[in-house]
Chains A and B, each alone.
Chain A
Amino acid sequence: MLEMHDVSKIYRTDLIETYALRRFSLQVSPGEFVAITGPSGSGKTTFLNVAGLLEEFDSGRYLLEEKDVRTLSDDERSRLRNERIGFIFQSFNLIPDLDVYDNVEVPLRYRRLSGADRRERIGSALELVGLASRAKHMPAQLSGGQQQRVAIARAIAGDPAFLLADEPTGNLDSLMSRQVMDLLEQINEMGTTILLVTHDPELARRAQRNVHLVDGQISDFRAYEPRAAVAGAMDAAGAARA
């Protein structure tokens, strides 16, 4: 369970204060797939950073799995991020001088898992994203879609409870985007809670719930029809475009 109550995040300069989140409240239940939409500068990424413990907030209360994150030390926050949260970024954020295997291994290293355990988890994650045969490739040798799948493998290898995805298809073409969304749905069906930030209303419709942000505040909640129907509609639209 992820709960935010009246969370505010302010960016300050010498001259102005900008509210990235303003008295923001949201509850996400285990296993949900929530899409966060909104125009540029509406606070989507800030919300994701705060939710993923990458950034502090100024006021309000944030409970992650019933833990008040403001009371946690850096070590505890890092452990929580490492064990309970997976990240997927728009620009993939793979480490360029590590091969696919080593990239997926990074969070497992910080968890101090045994070599055998790491190998097994990395194997399964790469299998799931269909890149088991590319384990020794460097990121630069992969296409954008493949790189994003490596990033997904890295995010899920630690078996997180939450997957936070920031515009994961922003740098991909429509075919790749669909493959990535299919993967996210598959992961969600396995029980992982997903928070997806996106500009794309079509992708947002594949989530179970859409939270629309404007100026750091929620302007609209929308629950969608069952996922299979949405996927079918997208397939039809894709066929028509073709």
Chain B
Amino acid sequence: MFGYYLRLASRSFRHNPGITALMVLAIALGIAVCVMTLTVYHAMSGNPIWWKNDRLYAVTMDNWDPNHPLNPKSDLPPPEMTYKDTQFLFASNIPERKVVMYSTEGVVSGVGSEPAAQIGTRVTTADFFVMFEAPFLYGNGWSAGADRPPQPLIVLSRRENEKLFAGANSVGRTLRWNDHEFRVIGVLNDWFPRPRFYDLNGGSFALPDDAYIPYGWGSELQLLNKEENDCWRPEKLDTYQDFEASDCVWQQMWVELPDAASRERFQSLVDAYWAEQRKAGRFERPKNNRLTNVAGWLRDNEVVNNDNRVLVGLAFAFLALCLINTVGLLLAKFLNGAAVTGIRRALGASRQQIFAQLLIEVGLLSALGALLGLALAALGLAAVRHMYAAAHLGERGGYQELMHFDVVGVAWAVILAVAATLAAGLYPAWRIGRLSPAVYLKSQ
């Protein structure tokens, strides 16, 4: 009977093209708005390295002003740490991998006729690339030995490599970074972790840096964090060494701990270090030493803000509105065809058969609505992408990259369309099936 019902449904659509088009459009609009909002929400709230969620931990300690917390609304410690604290913890062998890092600016020059340009550069220890699974197009990262004393090695982003070397394999080529000669050791492939979980400073969806240099260059070239250098205590900060010795927070630390045991051991180490430092007069606030996994880190830093949640709510409310309209139109359509339903009932169709026939019609309608909704959502996302591309000419990544369909978004669309429209069609189909056939025949 399924094929027969499908044929009846397509006949019914041809018989009532206006009302059918209106219903498909109503469903499609609701679906499109929902898919667009969910796609963005999913991308924004997604954990881009979920498979390592219980291995990667951001390390934080609360060394802030004992009288004034960093953030009065939460009990979170500062997201960055002091130089001296990171140095102590980095010396530990408990983590399988460990990264201390910050983002700075540097001027690149000395490549052909390319004019000197300032680029975002990450000063980081060697494990960064393996730990965060940054993919390489050419070459690779440096080894831990190159961190200190720092070797003149640099890893470029694909975008920077295209700019400087026209996309060619530049491994082994040299360039000048802040007037020091560096040798390219690797070029990253496209890599846009969304959100940029490992460093949320400068925007949760900021692009990754264009260059990466060994950590030791920070002290060597006296480089500061370009985004966050927060201090609370009046201190003598005349020299870079003063800054490194201060209670200012400006470096991020992540560790990879493969199991609960190593996590506990590292937590104990942090706590012991905290206790020792507290005895020495630091860490005057209550103990608040945290190892936060990626999901917790994104949550603590409110990567998905309330506006996004409200937007998702509004999108669903809009879908509900579209579906309520669809229910009305379906009722009108089914009642308009009630005489034919009556004839079918008189000729032996049971309520169940009428219900099935109408539900298949609704299902076909929902499939059409979903297809059109997907097309509209694709158009909408393309428009947003185009808008961002125009605003960030020549750039890749960032918000533009959010605006792509993903499998989850499409699956949502299909599930939403079918479930929502079927749910919307249940009442009209049930209601028509319940009426006595004689009532329809009288209306003929």
Contact = CB atoms under 8 A, between A and B. Distances in A.
Interface string B327-355: 00000000000011001111111111100
Given A55-B438, A79-B348, A79-B350, A97 B444 contact: no
A148 to B, nearest CB: 14
Contacts of A94: 343
B73 interface: no
A221 interface: no
Given A54-B441, A74-B350, A110-B353, A93 B436 contact: no
B51 interface: no
B1 interface: yes
B438 A78 contact: no
Contacts of A109: 1, 4
A106 B344 contact: yes
A69 to B, nearest CB: 14
Interface string B1-38: 10010000001001100000000000000000000000
B348 A78 contact: yes
B267 to A, nearest CB: 66
Contacts of A110: 344, 347-350, 353
Contact of B351 (A74, A79, A91): A74
Contacts of B349: 78, 82, 110
Contacts, number: 70
B437 interface: yes
Interface string B432-444: 0000111001001
B350 A93 contact: no
A170 B339 CA distance: 19
A97 B11 contact: yes
Contacts of A81: 346-348
Nearest to A106: B347
Contact of A111 (B4, B339, B348): B348
A93 B11 contact: no
B361 to A, nearest CB: 14
A78 B350 contact: yes
A46 to B, nearest CB: 8
B108 to A, nearest CB: 72
Given A89-B444, A91-B444, A93-B444, A54 B11 contact: no
Contacts of A32: none
A128 to B, nearest CB: 18
B347 A82 contact: yes
A153 B251 CA distance: 88
Interface in B98-134: none
Contact of B1 (A79, A82, A112): A112
Nearest to A160: B348
A49 B438 contact: yes
A56 to B, nearest CB: 7
Contacts of A52: 346
B348 A107 contact: yes
Contacts of B436: 54-56
Nearest to B350: A78
B352 A107 contact: no
Max chain A CB contacts within 10 Å: which of B1, B348, B351, B444?
Answer: B348
A162 interface: no
Nearest to B7: A102
B347 A75 contact: no
A225 B19 CA distance: 56
Interface in A51-109: 52, 54-56, 74-75, 78-79, 81-83, 87, 89, 91, 93-98, 106-107, 109
Interface of A: 49, 52, 54-56, 74-75, 78-79, 81-83, 87, 89, 91, 93-98, 106-107, 109-112, 154, 158
Closest A-B pairs by Cβ, 7 of them: A82-B348, A78-B350, A107-B347, A55-B438, A54-B438, A110-B348, A49-B438
Given A54-B441, A78-B353, A97-B11, 19 more contacts: A54-B436, A54-B437, A54-B438, A55-B438, A74-B352, A81-B347, A82-B348, A83-B348, A89-B441, A91-B444, A95-B340, A96-B340, A106-B344, A106-B347, A109-B4, A110-B347, A110-B348, A110-B349, A112-B1
5 contacts: A49-B438, A54-B441, A87-B347, A93-B444, A97-B15
Interface of B: 1, 4, 11, 14-15, 339-340, 343-353, 436-438, 441, 444
